[in-house]
Structure 1
Amino acid sequence: MSSPRAGDRPKATPDWLIGRDRRSEGAERIYVAAADLMARRGYDGFGIDALAAAVHCSPATIYRHVGGKSAIRDVVLERQAEHVLDSVRQAIAGLEGSERIVTATLVALQRMRAAPLAEVMRSMPGPPGTGWLIDSPVVARLAAEMVGTADADPLAAQWLIRVFLALWYWPMHDEEAEKAAVLRFLGPPYAGAPDDP
């Protein structure tokens, strides 16, 4: 019997955490799989056991690397929001005042409605507009960018977040009417920087 050649040996299964930065690579793999599970099954259908099976590790490894279900949800949804916000940032580059606000709002609505996790975001427990989205530093940072004033105007940013959420949770069924409403009612208050915040 001849000894096996190198090509005849079974290939080793790669360790899912091999790499220079095992912790961040493991977390990244977990978050990607979690986003996929949430998009397919919704938040209620997403669980740590199913996630562990998807990334080929134990539930204990999930908890050790990224925490529990709500911690994973928060990171996954903030990452989804960050993708949307990147599109908005590109769309409003160089714009000012009401044109900036109107463009940002319409682009954000379009991207959020098309996002793979949009329904998960909208179906989070609690009254609409509460929880992670209102409190997200990512969303607050973008709202301040959308306002576009040199000095931060937290009141204007918080108002913009709430108007956006109202449009997102309760969309107008006519896209042209929605655009006209945003132009008419949201644009003018942001046409210039407030004299007295």
Structure 2
Amino acid sequence: LTANTALEYYGALSGLSISEIRQHRPSLLESVGLRGREKDRVSGYSKGMLQRLGLAQAMIHKPQLIVLDEPTDGVDPVGRREIREILQRLAAAGHSIFLNSHLLQEIELVCDSVAILNHGQCLLTGTVKELKAALKDSAVLLQLRGEESAVRKATEHLSGMTMRTVAADAFEVEARISSQSELDQLIDRLRADKISIWQVARREQTLEEVFMNIVGADRR
């Protein structure tokens, strides 16, 4: 089985004639990066090449809606980027793409609308920006200077607190803050404990953090 014969088979299943398939096939293989490998046996293809062939099979009959399940599963970073670029070109050309994936970083990079599912139930929908805004807590990054014991005591109560030593008396603390008043109280305490505050910054949440927060709350 070669890419050529695979596309002929799947094209026929979609009701296309051989002449229609052969007319469309070269540009299709070019679009997924398989031009020049169409006569090679599929059994010798890498995982990334098989995934690209799967994309070509899904596109053979020029559908308006393309449904894909884990299109970058098992693909190396270079292959994942190539597949992302293919999907972005398809979307720019007017195709609607329904993408299922557990690789949330890929979803964040590709999708303009996201639905979070858990055990068959839809928990949240929206754009990536809207989903990130749905989190009640914000990740805050603080650059602090002072005695390690004092810094640790002042911040150990914070949700999700992690502390990293940058220098002898310099520390980077990250934590989840639920409100501006909680942040104000933290800053007041740090100042009262004579801990220098060099920087306070909010870190944008990743889609994975949104997912874990929403799904974790649903399981509790």
Q: Give the TM-score taking structure 1 as reference length.
A: 0.27
Larger radius of gyration: 2
Q: Which has the higher contact order (CA 8 A, sep 6+)?
A: 1
More strand by share: 2
